[in-house]
Homo-oligomer: A and B are copies of this chain.
Amino acid sequence: MRGPSASRGSYPRGPSPVAPGLPERLGRTAQLLSRLPGVGEKTAQRFALFLATADEGVARELGRALAELRDHVRPCSRCGNIAESAPDEDAFCSVCRDPRRDETLLCVVGRVQDLLAIERSGAMRGRYFVLGRLLSPLEGVGAEELPLDALKERVRADAVAEVLVATPPSVDGEATALLVARELQALGARVTRIASGVPHGGDLEFADQVTLGRAIEGRKSFG
């Protein structure tokens, strides 16, 4: 049995003990389910019990889908976004295949989830580069674990004019943004950062101090 995945953003967890009273196989299934993000031991047991007692097709269909998932869905060879492809082909995502995208504007994100959120906003007309993780001293992630060489190569090869760093406005996200900016400035590309401030529809009364501070620092003139 393999340890929990070293995926970004989740804390390493040891294997949980097989639950008493459950058949061994069900306990193992619960263990596997507890690797899902935000799923603890109890929830995993609930999922396993549901799958063992509900309509048989639910477990079988889901099992088949998950077993095959990684044959067809994999990171885009160019940007790291998820892409669908045949098992033995290079995968290119829908953004990289879109000829209307501006090659000279590159948005750097931490995770695929962030890329999808930006795509939903419809505000990004360029392409992407997914780092896969953020610099994190607390979790022991150093600069050498970020794909900075691939990013520099991409900026050079595509003659990128602007790199928009869209890592989250958190401690790790800011540290990553600073690192990316420092690495890329030598290449002559303009490096920008997404704005941070009070969210749309947000209430000033309940905004935290740092957010309000940033909203004021980042103020803009009308017109």
Contacts and interface: CB of A to CB of B under 8 A. Distances in A.
A218 interface: no
A61 interface: yes
Interface in A1-45: 2, 5-7, 20-26, 28-29, 32-33, 35-38, 43
A51 interface: yes
Interface of A: 2, 5-7, 20-26, 28-29, 32-33, 35-38, 43, 46-47, 49-70, 72-75, 82-84, 94, 111-113, 116, 119-120
Question: How often does this chain occur in the complex, in copies?
Answer: 2
A86 to B, nearest CB: 12
A170 to B, nearest CB: 18
B112 A53 contact: yes
Looking at chain A's contact residues, the main secondary structure is helix
A36 B21 contact: no
Contact of A53 (B7, B47, B59): B7
Contacts of A55: 2, 5-7
A52 B66 CA distance: 9
Given A61-B32, A116-B22, A46 B54 contact: no
A35 to B, nearest CB: 6
A38 B46 contact: yes
A60 B70 contact: yes
